[in-house]
Structure 1
């Protein structure tokens, strides 16, 4: 751990650098999703479809609202620190680290208190059926109480990735994943604690990952070294970080608000549909963890090279990232098409839930390619500090369109397919907006056009 490696992305083969950074993030995201999915699998098999519906769907959407906003904010911290690192400014890197950890601790405490107090009201406003509420409420409250370690881990992992170290967060996630799974089995299967046991297991694993990230940052011998007695907030750096991160945070919030409306519509279709959608939300993470890992790689790559002053290399990285994203998406679609129903059986054996879920999956996977442009272009733009325009485009193309669709179309045609159409329609619209901006107005438009013509 003390000899943690840093990855300088300002030199070397671009595709190799992206892949070298991508795979540890992908594996880390896989293990992060694995311990989230373990809750759903073990609960679904031991508690039934009511328990499955309680630990996913509505509760996951609400949790993602808060975590997503924070992770979006923390992306601004990572971008600024990666730029300082690329510029070899160790003093500002150190200031950024201490500001970031202090900020995550304060926000974590505030959100934990707020979430625990208002859990019941939030669930009630999302039309959670009474037969699910009794399980969903304690799960959500426990999760919120233990949210601060989750935010500290996410911030610490982001700081490590900002200087090219994507391996250490992977190690943390592997450890916390296995802790979560073991505790799930003990608390749910042997101690019959149901969804409460799942929440306790998740929080315990997150505490461990937070402790690990603090220990490793404290033991580093470079500018990223964390000194607990030096924790403070530098408001000048904080403003710069938040000015970039707030756009991503708002974007995540608007995504989740739109998804909350979708989840509320799903909740009106009954327990089987809620359970099927919960399992689908775990299965389609194979795509999301792949494409988002590539997005993080592109963001870090562009951040370091933009800070170093190599704009041409930044633009080449975008093209290589897009090619990798297309190939990865094709592989994911094939896997889910071939094995989707088999994966569903891990969560439940209920035939009606399996049928609804498989139909959802087959409908959605063919739309995945329409999202690629959004992730790669927005990631690259954030890396050079251009975050507000992508946020506005995403808000318009994804969030507003989904909200309008759910409000206008779902009451007229109240079925699962009407709800699901909100996703591909919003992705296509937003992708078009990103193409127009990238080729017509962004800082990188001229060189990108030239390279496409030359090739």
Structure 2
């Protein structure tokens, strides 16, 4: 069922749309979490460190995929909001064409740069082979990630956040089963975790695509729908490329941080990997709010309901602040206890490393929440440059911290890299949104005055 977000109570719309999206995102996190838990407990700390060392490489490509597929869905939501059915079909058709072409290109490039990236990241010799094996399998199966994110992005652009959730639940359960079979029964190690992830993601992609075609008439494309004007491709790329760059730039910053972490050895890498998984899980409400805001802003921009965008953002900011405070309390009080899920009989040293990361991150969760709200609002409104610029600010902050502070204050410098990067990214996003909305208000006021004079 589609969901028109250009009318109705914004708070109710946010709740209705975000809850299934949040559940879906949590299940999606289970992919990597289950891999990490089973590998850490049944294969060993070095294998867990190998998966931890691939986190930044995974997010480099996954961020690119999410950025592109999210960007390509913006035009779909705008056409849907303006009630342009034929425009929706053309937007979806051009989305599919661009996605297929870019997936082939990115898969080839990703496989070619694995060795240089691992060497650049100072990957320790004792985990190098496992790290390379895992990320090679993941990159080779990139099409499964793209297939799901593309189809889910299209459905969410139409206001349907429930369907992607259902298929993610199926895929998550399948992933757990395959992990247990491949790693424990077949003793496949990190390769088993990678194969399980790709297969499960592929199943969710296929199910989502079949459902979309069968249940939504507006998505039953014909050959003539793919005869799309150049403007559709131009708009898609204009929005999606900066979004993809923004995600990739953020991932490059994570790679830089990982390079600094790798110098500390396998124990610190494993501890930071466990802490990162906890952070990713607690971030899911903010991430879900961001996707909701992008759809909401896109549809209302198409309907020219700028007043609803402003009102909705005020509500979402309150929700974001409250959620960030709750998340911070969870990180400080309960976060370290998640470590036992990933590592059997963890030492006190590992507990301390994990808790230090979580404590510093918790203090800055409010600006992190603002990043997701304002970045996605701007992207939903077709504003792509500043979100990309904010990504470069985030990269610059991470790089500066990683190259300087660890040499002075050790591991604490690593812990500060994310919080400082979040502040650097949130400032330009908040300022740009407010400037943009004031400009729209002035333009609307001038139009109203002109109409009154003509009347």
Report TM bin, short chain. Answer: over 0.9
SS at match of 2:293: helix
Number of the residue aligned with 1:312? 307
Q: Work out which of the residue numbers 49, 55, 67 in structure 1 matches 2:51.
A: 55
Q: Work out which of the residue numbers 160, 166, 186 in structure 1 matches 2:181.
A: 186
8 Å Cα contact 2:390/2:424 also seen in 1: no
User: What is the RMSD of the two structures over their aligned residues, measured on CA atoms?
Assistant: 1.9
Number of corresponding residues: 440
Gaps of 5+ in 1: 449-455
Number of the residue aligned with 1:367? 364
Give a deviation string over 1:233-291, Cα, whole Å, max 9, x none.
75421210110111211111111111111000000011011001111111101232110
Q: Work out which of the residue numbers 373, 398, 401 in structure 2 matches 1:402.
A: 398
Q: Work out which of the residue numbers 436, 440, 445 in structure 2 matches 1:442.
A: 436
Q: Work out which of the residue numbers 331, 336, 341 in structure 2 matches 1:341.
A: 336
1:224 Cα deviation after fit: 2.2
Change (3 A) 1:49 1:326: same
Aligned pairs (5 A) from 1:53-452: 53-56=49-52, 58-226=53-221, 235-348=230-343, 349-351=345-347, 352-396=349-393, 398-410=394-406, 412-413=407-408, 415-439=410-434, 441-444=435-438
Is 2:17 the partner of 1:21? Answer: yes
Is 2:33 the partner of 1:37? Answer: yes
TM-score by length of 2: 0.92
1:168 Cα deviation after fit: 0.5
8 Å Cα contact 2:275/2:357 also seen in 1: yes
- Residue range with higher mean Cα deviation, 143-152 or 422-431: 422-431
Counterpart-to-counterpart distance in 1, 2:109 and 2:80 = 35
SS at match of 1:128: coil
8 Å Cα contact 2:73/2:95 also seen in 1: no
Q: Which has the higher helix share?
A: 2
Give a deviation string over 1:59-100, Cα, whole Å, max 9, x none.
121121112122112222111110000111111111111221
SS at match of 1:317: helix
Counterpart-to-counterpart distance in 2, 1:228 and 1:118 = 37
Counterpart-to-counterpart distance in 2, 1:124 and 1:180 = 30
1:445 Cα deviation after fit: 6.2
8 Å Cα contact 1:84/1:93 also seen in 2: yes
- Which runs of structure 1 show a deviation greater than 4 angstroms over 4 or more consecutive aligned residues? 226-234, 444-448
8 Å Cα contact 1:286/1:332 also seen in 2: no
Counterpart-to-counterpart distance in 2, 1:422 and 1:90 = 46
8 Å Cα contact 2:293/2:373 also seen in 1: yes
1:218 Cα deviation after fit: 1.9
1:307 Cα deviation after fit: 0.5
Give a deviation string over 1:151-186, Cα, whole Å, max 9, x none.
111011000000000001001110110111000001
Counterpart-to-counterpart distance in 2, 1:223 and 1:106 = 23
1:143 Cα deviation after fit: 0.8
8 Å Cα contact 1:103/1:233 also seen in 2: no
TM-score by length of 1: 0.92
- Residue range with higher mean Cα deviation, 36-45 or 400-409: 400-409
1:343 Cα deviation after fit: 0.9
Counterpart-to-counterpart distance in 2, 1:318 and 1:215 = 34
